[in-house]
Amino acid sequence: MDILFRFVGAAICLMSASSAALAAGDDAQAASIKRGAYIAIASDCSACHTAPGGKPFAGGLPIVSPVGTIYSTNITPSATAGIGQYSEEQFARAVRRGIRGDGANLYPAMPYTSYNVLTDADIHDLYTYFQHGVEPVDAMPTRTALPFPMNVRLSMMAWNLLFVGSGDNLTDTTQSAEWNRGKYLVDGPAHCSTCHTPRGFLMQELTGSYLGGAQVGPWYAPNITSDATSGIGSWSKDELARYLSTGSLPGKAQAAGSMGEAVEHSFSQLTQEDIAAIATYIKTVPPLHDASDEQSRFDYGKPFSELASLRGTNPIRSDTDAQASGAVLFYGNCASCHQPLGQGSKDTYYPSLFHNSATGSANRDNLIATILNGVNRTTPNGQAFMPGFGGKANDINALDDGQVATLANYVIEHYGRPGAPVTPADVAEVRAGGPSSSLLLLARIGIAVAAAVGLAIILLLIVWRQRRARMA
């Protein structure tokens, strides 16, 4: 009897110990999922892996690249359509080295070139989150089918050998812990350089021009180095932190396009400590100066109004009058929000058009893209909304390429950085998604050259063998 009691007692003890261990395991997993969810936000995985209106992380977002459209894949834990069968090691290789579970190379539209510095601990938490914290979706997104030779995924191997870093995340002991955290976030999860660093001939980031400004589709991600004239050296750390967490810094800049999205989905949801760390690090990025910049892009322009001279003489209209002057277009379409002097609203909800990086930049793309696409960004601070005027042909608000050029020139002449005017062709290019690249052509020429060299070698070999045969 006594023995039976002891046995039962021991069994109960064992059971409660193992359920305590299980509970502890659950707690550890829950904590890991939570940390992983945060890293997924800091890394903005959903920016590419969630299609508009689609299920979270189910993929299918078309990413237009210079060599064709690449579709993001399903990274939910579905065993059939997603990454449910990935081991942690396979997951780590995909995220840090761009190698898919089946061993094929991913295209660098997936920013593994940045994620390659992610620590083992962060990868582990991300993996736990994607396996246990995300709803599985069993639908296969559209498959990517790039034209030859880009459809040969093996060709990425050479690219990776040339351009993917070691992945070492070296702590700089001469800098503070905050600075090191900032550098890690900027170069790793937040992948700022994938947009702000210009790319070379083979689409690789030009490390010598780190954060020096680059084209991202129709938008231009400006120079954000510490240069006081060409970069953001004139911003205080707090100003940069405010811009990153809200997308708006009155009197300097607003975030639209892909930056607006990054602010909405990622930066506005980071802790104040992490945003401060990013700002601390960015403020120390070596300056890159463009000799043509005599003045900072945040300092151009001043209040100006032509409204008085228009009153009574010209009807102010916003329709598609092909002859409309810049002034007429401006007062018909823009001044109601940005105000007659271009000074914006008192509460700064409508920004001033002078002292504004979109009008003060030598690169006109952000001004053109804003007029065509507008601004739509939601953060915990509220929504920033400006309608786009690109529209469809029968949209009464739609402005054609010539009108957008006339309007943009009016805005830069009076509120921005004067200089080379915007042409209708510039507007057409932004409307079409930005400058196209000759990469595909180059790759094709490359293959043709390789084939020609190969053929020449074979011919030489044949000639050489015939000669030897004759000599023998």
For ligand HEC, the binding residues in 1-40 under the rule CB under 6 A are 40
Q: Which residues face 59 on adjacent strands? A: 50
Of residues 58, 67, 92, 94, which one binds ligand HEC by CB under 6 A? 94
3-state secondary structure of 431: helix
Contact (CB, 8 A) for 205 and 222: no
Of residues 58, 241, 334, 405, which one binds ligand HEC by CB under 6 A? 334
* 100 forms part of the interface with ligand HEC (CB under 6 A): yes
* Site residue total, ligand HEC (CB under 6 A): 77
Closest CB 101 distance from ligand HEC, rounded Å: 5
Q: Toward ligand HEC, which CB reaches closer, 29 or 90?
A: 90
Q: Which residues face 248 on adjacent strands? A: 254
Give the list of residues 6+ apart from residue 257 with CB closer than 8 angstroms, or none.
216, 217, 218, 219, 366, 369, 373
Tokens of 265: 């989905």
Stretch of 23-31, 41-49, 429-437, 456-464 contacting ligand HEC, by CB under 6 A: 41-49
* 99 forms part of the interface with ligand HEC (CB under 6 A): no
DSSP 43-110: TTHHHHHB-TTSPTT-B--EEEETTEEEEPPP-SS-TTTSSTT--HHHHHHHHHH-B-TTSPBPPTTS
3-state secondary structure of 379: strand
For ligand HEC, the binding residues in 367-386 under the rule CB under 6 A are 367, 370-371, 375, 384-386
Of residues 389, 406, 427, 440, which one binds ligand HEC by CB under 6 A? 389
Return the sign of the alpha-carbon dihedral for residues 211, 243, 37, 110.
negative
For the window 409-448, what string marks contact with ligand HEC as x by the rule CB under 6 A?
Answer: --x-------------------------------------
Closest CB 436 distance from ligand HEC, rounded Å: 18
* 354 forms part of the interface with ligand HEC (CB under 6 A): no
For ligand HEC, the binding residues in 148-187 under the rule CB under 6 A are 186
For the window 113-142, what string marks contact with ligand HEC as x by the rule CB under 6 A?
Answer: --x----------x----------------
3-state secondary structure of 458: helix
Closest CB 450 distance from ligand HEC, rounded Å: 23
Of residues 184, 331, 350, 354, which one binds ligand HEC by CB under 6 A? 350
Q: Toward ligand HEC, which CB reaches closer, 33 or 463?
A: 33
Specify the DSSP element, H or E, that contains 183.
helix 177-187
* 45 forms part of the interface with ligand HEC (CB under 6 A): yes
Contact (CB, 8 A) for 220 and 426: no
Tokens of 253: 């800049």
Q: What type of residue is 97?
A: R
Q: Toward ligand HEC, which CB reaches closer, 23 or 233?
A: 233
Of residues 337, 362, 398, 439, which one binds ligand HEC by CB under 6 A? 337
Q: Toward ligand HEC, which CB reaches closer, 305 or 466?
A: 305
Q: Toward ligand HEC, which CB reaches closer, 276 or 367?
A: 367
For the window 56-75, what string marks contact with ligand HEC as x by the rule CB under 6 A?
Answer: -------x------x-xx-x
For ligand HEC, the binding residues in 217-246 under the rule CB under 6 A are 219, 221-222, 224, 232, 240, 243
Contact (CB, 8 A) for 268 and 248: no
Of residues 50, 78, 359, 409, which one binds ligand HEC by CB under 6 A? 359
Q: Toward ligand HEC, which CB reaches closer, 157 or 463?
A: 157
Give the per-residue SS3 of 186-253: HHCCCCCHHHHCCECCCCCECHHHCCCCEEECCEEECCCCCCCCCCCCCCCHHHHHHHHHHCEECCCE
Residue 454's alpha-carbon distances to 149, 448, 450, 451, 468, in angstroms, are 17, 10, 6, 5, 21
